[in-house]
Amino acid sequence: LDTALASQEDRRTMLKRAVSKAAAPFGARGFAAAGSEKIAMVGSGNFGSALVRILGRNATRHDVFDNEVRMYVHEEMIDGVPLTKIINETNENVKYLKGAKFTPNVIADPDITSAMAGATMICFCLPHQFLKPMVPKIKAAAAPGVKLLSAIKGIDFDENGIVLISDILRKEFDADCSVLMGANVANDMATDAFCETTIGYKDPANGELFRLAYDDFSLKVGTVQDTVGVELCGALKNIVAIGAGFIDGLGMGGNTKAAIIRIGLKEMVKFCKMFYPTDGISDDTFLESCGVADLITTCYGGRNRKCAAAFAEANKTKSLEVIEAELLGGQKLQGTLTAKEVNHILKMKGLEHEFPFFTTVYKISYEDTPLSAITETPY
């Protein structure tokens, strides 16, 4: 017990020293001796690339972190050249975040085993349908006691109902998992325009480490001890964004869009409280960046809104899959998938009538329900 307490005290001391350096100017440490925490990112899409730019910068700022940040990249060819080769030679993800430079300590790696080798802090930012097949190799390569963070905006389900992505990670790795969600449109982050995000944590020490890894001159990180609320906000707001996109595509104005956002937020809160009544979801979480702020920016500037607007403009003559392929350049649409998964759960529980907005978004997206239902359904 004495040894364990001493170890905890050493860890607290290390974190305090790290925090004291948080105000150091960008690049202050340069490429000095490596720290004890080695960061890796699983995912290299639009948002993952925006996040890893910040991880790369902060790895050189704080002594607690190893200099090198490895990013797993699903390899693809760009004009005959491997994307990882382009990233490592130009410090830029030319396909998914063109024009935004990484620091040279960010290393793109197409091999998941070597990318995760020895990592003590692993961040996940990829479409959640691709996660499970990768887990065994990541688990085998990571350091013992690895700390996890999910920036994956979606949910899963099984025969019992909802399964949170962070819970999948906790179970598979037998590890603590924090969650990052916020008003973070990646293309805005690429210009270092100021924004905020929220990290939900269970273990305060791990929450502080991840805050240190992401807090930056352009990204203000708030922390809350509410992983469930933060994660559900990040997933459910994409359904609302689909509805907001329908409004835009139908040519309706700001009053209507504001009403849809309010209705959607109300169902988000209801869903969280109904399905996780004893998990300590705080009302204040909905006022953090992961809540109302993320909802607003996604309903005005995200990919889900963009594709839903195109779907409505085409009067449903093009499928969402076709629109995704045309508009997103290889990125994946999450809002419709989440709407489908949520609807599956609501049907399973006989609760579609309790969530008329979520149900209407699903039915417009996947069934014969007309677009006009988005404003004609009694909410």
The residues annotated with a catalytic role in the active site are 237
| Helix locations, the chain, DSSP H | 2-20, 46-59, 83-90, 112-116, 135-141, 165-173, 186-189, 204-214, 227-249, 254-275, 294-301, 303-313, 320-327, 335-349, 356-366, 373-376
Give every CB contact of residue 294 below 8 A, 6+ residues apart in sequence: 181, 182, 183, 184, 233, 234, 237
The one-character DSSP state at 215 is -
CB 112 within 8 A of CB 72: yes
Q: What is 327-364 written as a DSSP string?
A: HSTT----HHHHHHHHHHHHHHHT-GGG-HHHHHHHHH
CB 106 within 8 A of CB 39: no
Q: Facing residues of 37 across strands?
A: 65
Q: Please state, in angstroms and rounded to a whole number, the distance separating the CA atoms of residues 52 and 39.
A: 10
**CB-side neighbour CA atoms (13 Å) of 41:** 33
Q: Between the CA of residue 376 and those of 49, 258, 264, 270, what are the distances in Å?
A: 40, 15, 15, 21
Q: Please state, in angstroms and rounded to a whole number, the distance separating the CA atoms of residues 190 and 173.
A: 31
Cβ count near 351 (within 10 Å): 15
Give every CB contact of residue 50 below 8 A, 6+ residues apart in sequence: 97, 100, 184, 186, 189, 190
Q: Please state, in angstroms and rounded to a whole number, the distance separating the CA atoms of residues 70 and 105.
A: 8
Q: 331: buried, middle or exposed (CB in 10 Å: 19+, 13-18, 0-12)?
A: middle
